[in-house]
Amino acid sequence: MLNQTNGSTLSTNRYAHVVDEDLLEELRSLGQELRGVRVAHINATANGGGVSEILRSVVPMYRGLGVDASWLVLQGDEPFFKTTKKMHNRLQGAPVRVSAKEWDAYLAANRRNAEAMSSDYDFVFVHDPQPAAIPQFAREVSTRWVWRCHIDTSTPDDAVWQRIADLLSPYDAAIFSIPEFAGPKMPEIPVYSIPPAIDPLIPKNIEMPRDQALALIAGSGVDPLRPFIVQVSRFDPWKDPLGVIAAFERVQKHHSDLQLVLLGNFADDDPEGLVIYRKVLARASKLSNVHVIVENLDGLVNALQTLGRVVVQKSSREGFGLTVTEALWKGTPVVAGNVGGLRLQLKEGVGGFLVDSVEECADRVDYLLTHEEEGAALGAAGREHVRRNYLMPRLLRDELRVVRDLLNGSQAAVPVSQNGHAGAANSL
Ligand code: UDP
């Protein structure tokens, strides 16, 4: 287990100009109540993907409130991550097989990591399936354990879900991004619904001057003076980059000047990335005006999400989709797959359009390209939706409520949030 905590602290007061004062007030009060409580977050990668993105911001924010928070990263080899990506794929409904030998190796890696945990904690959040077996081998390391699932488990394969449900028996609670993701056969533990969030103050999300954005985009090889649409995503079949290219080909017939940008990166725990990247490159090389970029620069993500005419996220499964939250925060309209957490973010008149096919995706992108004012209004409503529901102080508050209530043994007292879905967790 690698300790990723860098000791830094972030004051929640920095968010005073973006979030409501009563939220900051509640955070200060939770911080006083939980001062010195030892909380750890365990996940599978320090780089790539939404979970590492969240932990990089939220762990220093816990510390800023006086909570003694740490970020631990599970160590595994390539076969281990191949197995856990298969588990992930099966949980999202794909028909792949996980052999008994692979399960054994998964448990052995979890055991090794559990044995390497050298400190004691009051509360541990375990993110996603990769480290889910840790408490089986280290129950005594923490007084409370919570499994925090970020993936779209609305249509899981039964057998693998049963395995996961079995792994959950030592846990005190589970958290899903939306209520529908809590599968059947859950053990008798409290189940919370808490959506993720973005940090509006990191370089990826702060307001970027237009000149700077234009320069960054030009530097990446995209013509900043011609219109472009963009999908920012790991190279993962669930993000459907080939479907995005197919939709772009249709739109291009009416907008010959249009460019498509596919900006992607690779997560340390996702061995499928390179395979998909090669497929995308092969397809893109046959077309004009498609830019496939692998560049881990937060500034470039910001610039593309800011100046893109439309941000696309054509996922066929999606736990939440921080890339959509990021785009909406910049007021850019979005066309996204009608799945999972994307449905929380795009609503009638808010943010953009949900689509179920390549054709629909092309049609909605085309519509936004030709109805700029409507697109701007959707983007503006999307930004306010994000401001109210999906910024980091709200996520921190929801997690601290869970910590407080489970440590006090008063789970029933957890309030449901006012907007009904971005809440700190009601029992489902
Ligand atoms: N991301 C990035 N560069 C890339 C691709 C993705 O910085 O080339 C970031 C993206 O901005 C977002 C996160 O990775 O913050 C992806 O989170 P999301 O929830 O959209 O998807 P996940 O990868 O967790 O499935």
* 213-265 tens-digit pLDDT: 999 999 999 999 999 999 999 999 999 999 999 999 999 999 999 999 999 99
Q: Please report the sign of the dihedral spanned by the C-alpha atoms of residue 35, residue 36, residue 39, residue 45.
A: positive
| Distance from C-alpha of 139 to C-alpha of 55, rounded to nearest angstrom | 23
Give percent of the chain with pLDDT exceeding 70.
96
Whole-angstrom CA distances from 233 to 230, 259, 264, 295 are 10, 17, 5, 11
- How far away, in angstroms, is 141 Cα from ligand 1 center? 31
Whole-angstrom CA distances from 162 to 186, 204, 425 are 9, 38, 23
Whole-angstrom CA distances from 160 to 173, 177, 192, 235, 374 are 19, 19, 21, 24, 44
Q: Whose CA is nearest to atom 1 of ligand 1?
A: 233
- Ligand 1 closest atom vs CA 151: 25
Rg, the chain, Cα only = 21
Ligand 1 binding pocket includes 341 (Cβ within 6 Å): no
- How far away, in angstroms, is 198 Cα from ligand 1 center? 11
Q: Whose CA is nearest to atom 9 of ligand 1?
A: 49
Whether the full predicted model's pTM is greater than 0.85, yes or no, is yes
* Whether the Cβ atoms of residue 92 and residue 316 lie closer than 8 Å to each other: no
Ligand 1 binding pocket includes 423 (Cβ within 6 Å): no
Ligand 1 binding pocket includes 321 (Cβ within 6 Å): yes
- How far away, in angstroms, is 367 Cα from ligand 1 center? 26
- pLDDT, tens only, 250-307: 999 999 999 999 999 988 888 889 999 999 999 999 999 999 999 879 999 999 999 9
Ligand 1 binding pocket includes 333 (Cβ within 6 Å): no
pLDDT of 416 over the 60 cut: no
- Ligand 1 closest atom vs CA 232: 5
Question: Which of 149, 216, 233, 276 to mutate for ligand 1's pocket (most ligand atoms within 8 Å of CB)?
Answer: 233
| Distance from C-alpha of 403 to C-alpha of 145, rounded to nearest angstrom | 10
Query: In the 8-state DSSP scheme, what is residue 180?
Result: G
- pLDDT, tens only, 109-161: 999 999 999 889 999 999 999 999 999 999 999 999 999 999 998 888 888 89
- Structure-token pair, residue 193: 């619904």
Largest CA distance in the chain: 62
- How far away, in angstroms, is 322 Cα from ligand 1 center? 6
How do 68-73 and 2-3 pair as beta strands?
A: antiparallel
